[in-house]
Amino acid sequence: MLTFRRALIISAAVLTLLFIFRSSHSSPTQPQPQPLTADSLAKAEATSKTKVEQPARQETTDPPKAKPKETATWKGVGSAQINSKKPKTQISLDDLRKRPLRDQLEYQFPYDVDTKFPAYIWQTWKYTPASGDFEEIFREAEASWTVLHPTFVHEVITDTVAVHLMRHLYASVPEVLEAYNALPLPVLKADFFRYLILLARGGIYSDIDTAALKSATDWVPLDVPRTSYGLVVGIEADPDREDWAQWYSRRIQFCQWTIQAKPGHPVLRNIVANITEETLKRKAEGRLTKDTKNIVEFTGPALWTDTIFNFFNDPEYFDMSTSKGNITWEQFTGIRSAKKVGDVIVLPITSFSPGVRQMGAGEDDDPMAFVKHNFEGTWKPEAERHIGEVI
């Protein structure tokens, strides 16, 4: 017979077993909600201010992932495989500055091909479009970038802003800042700026005298995964005449008036390191003058082209064991559609140079015409040129 005393003992035992069961299935490390106080809000705000600013529309804050080798098939050259870098462990600023410049840049601006292209459009000029001094000849072209990219952040950077922006982005790499400030000509700073802003923030750089003909979302075929490439370049010159060397620096020359990139791309890292090292070397030797000769070789399209080809044939990034030889201009001459080498998309001459009426370029209404270069920069001696003017 169940007496009152026995019922009480059984009830206590059941409650004890239930308590033990629930305790054993709860996570001992589960964080408990804390009351929201003025102090906690202040700490959260301070923490948020110390975080690295993320580019617009870039949806990942994770460090670059170690990825398997990615095969890029290239007709006539076999296959090339691009090697991914493993994520770096955190190191102190003092230890970082003891490392080679390229390592410092890689650490500060890591590259992850899986991320989206940041929705930035960068241009430089003496004035912003909001200024009454902004030249009318540029207004329609400048506005075309906003019209065709309504969800992008479109910035026209003036000289003064550029100096402060570089100081903010490269404060942890003082050699780069020293080189940027030491460059004696505005045109040299203009060249350097485009590489620096894309390395640090990514997006699209385009000269102020260019007009967008199609949205950047249409530059590369949709069947090419956006997570498989991090740099988009176009051909500026593909001369087929015997005296081409009298007119151009390279047999195939990549243009630098329009570039799209994900931040941290190795090509950008290499060209920033090259310009920095060469500038500081010339400065130390007293050879950093306002001589306007060989600008294309120092910071311009010749150096840009060489850096891209060096990347294509760099064993650090590509496994060319199955290829028939180095990738050269011969693989790009006469192309009529986009070509992919590793994580780089190369567009034909029509894409960024329509209407030049030479070297096989199509007209502005060609399906492959994406950006129109109007060559409206003032053609005066480079020493007098402004940071936003072209050569």
Rounded to whole angstroms, the Cα distance separating 178 from 370 reads: 36
Q: What is the pTM for the complete model shown?
A: 0.76
| Residue 38 DSSP one-character state | H
CB 83 within 8 A of CB 70: no
How confident is the model at residue 210, as a pLDDT? Answer: 97
Rounded to whole angstroms, the Cα distance separating 195 from 98 reads: 23
pLDDT, one tens digit per residue, over 225-259 is: 999 999 999 999 999 888 888 888 999 999 999 99
> Which CATH entry fits the domain spanning 92-384: 3.40.50, 3.90.550, 1.10.3470, 1.10.10?
3.90.550
Token pair listed for 104: 């410092």
Domain boundaries, the chain: 92-384
How confident is the model at residue 357, as a pLDDT? Answer: 87
Q: How far is CA 17 from CA 1, 20, 24, 345, in A?
A: 24, 5, 11, 65
- Using DSSP's 3-state secondary structure scheme, residue 331 falls into helix
| Residue 372 DSSP one-character state | E
Side-chain half-sphere CA neighbours of 253 within 13 A: 23
Amino acid letter for position 378: T
* Nearest residue to 54 via CA among 219, 214, 203, 178: 203
Token pair listed for 18: 């239930």
| Residue 131 DSSP one-character state | S
pLDDT, one tens digit per residue, over 166-212 is: 999 999 999 999 999 999 999 999 999 999 999 999 999 999 999 99
pLDDT, one tens digit per residue, over 350-371 is: 999 999 889 989 999 999 999 9
Residues in a beta bridge with 70: 82
The H-assigned helical ranges of the chain are 4-24, 38-50, 93-96, 101-108, 136-148, 159-169, 174-182, 186-201, 266-285, 295-298, 301-312, 349-352
